[in-house]
Amino acid sequence: MLHEQARRAVVHTCQEMQGQGLVVGTAGNVSVRLGDLVVISPSGVAYEELTPEMVGVHDMSGAPVEASLKPSSELPLHLAVYRGTDAGAITHNHAPASTAVGLVCDEVPVSHYYSSMFNGPIRVAPYAHFGTDELAKNVCTALEGRHGALMANHGAVTVGATLDKAFGLLPYLEYVCEVQLKAMATGAPVKLLTQEQVSYTVEALKGYGQPKQ
């Protein structure tokens, strides 16, 4: 993927994120890794005004390579995840259910089978101030072996091999969190899946959909 394609994809994803009600205001950010470079949404630009030219390209130390605006304040988080995993893209948002469940749980247990999309219970990274290396470290730990994590008192993050994969998980993460919250709100015990059921679904979801032609 070329820089220009990646910049357009970042803009498109940011606007989709907003269109689906997964962010508030200018919150959230999106990035794609291209080898030793990271293409990331800028800080504090209204999504409806965002253009590919405003999306910056940075090296793995965070230094601008081609950037007219300040990058997202969570650039350290994105860089830390790319250094520590083989993720090709990251999406981060502030949506109500995932943020709320992060206020009352240390992890989202595997209640709905969609949790298998994230490879198991979704961990909640302990709170640290936004934009800090401490937050980046906490999120990296919460993401170990997972495709998504929650950030206490803050929001959620998903990762994937491609931007489509990372962003594709974000609405499911919000859904799983919303279902969990509603179930917990009844006060009745929440039925959880067994490890065997989760393992089965992880494998079954790999083959889900139409076979490739």
Long-range contacts of 12-19 (CB under 8 A, 24+ apart): 13/91, 13/163, 13/167, 14/41, 14/47, 14/50, 15/47, 15/48, 15/50, 16/167, 17/47, 17/91, 17/93, 17/167, 17/170, 18/47, 18/48
d(CA 118, CA 63): 31
Residue 153 Cβ, how far from Zn ion at the closest point, in Å?
10
Element (H, E) at 38: strand 37-40
Which stretch, 107-115, 152-160, 170-178, 186-194, contacts Zn ion (CB under 5 A)?
A: 152-160
Which stretch, 16-24, 34-42, 150-158, 174-182, contacts Zn ion (CB under 5 A)?
A: 150-158
Residue 25 Cβ, how far from Zn ion at the closest point, in Å?
11
For Zn ion, the closer CB: 56 or 155: 155
For Zn ion, the closer CB: 87 or 90: 90
Residue 42 Cβ, how far from Zn ion at the closest point, in Å?
14
For Zn ion, the closer CB: 95 or 193: 95
List 74, 107, 174, 196, catalytic entry: 74
Chain centre to alpha carbon of residue 169: 8
Which stretch, 14-22, 78-86, 112-120, 154-162, contacts Zn ion (CB under 5 A)?
A: 154-162
For Zn ion, the closer CB: 9 or 136: 136
Which stretch, 47-55, 119-127, 142-150, 151-159, contacts Zn ion (CB under 5 A)?
A: 151-159
**Is 203 a known active-site residue?**
no
Tokens of 118: 């994230």
Residue 198 Cβ, how far from Zn ion at the closest point, in Å?
28
> Which residue number places its CB atom closest to Zn ion?
155
Give the number of residues in contact with Zn ion, rule: CB under 5 A.
1
DSSP labels, 59-124: ETTS-EEE-SSPBPTTHHHHHHHHHHS--SEEEEE--HHHHHHHHH-SEE-S-SGGGGGGTSSEEE
d(CA 188, CA 186): 5
Q: Which residues bind Zn ion (CB under 5 A)?
A: 155
Question: Which residues are known catalytic residues?
Answer: 74
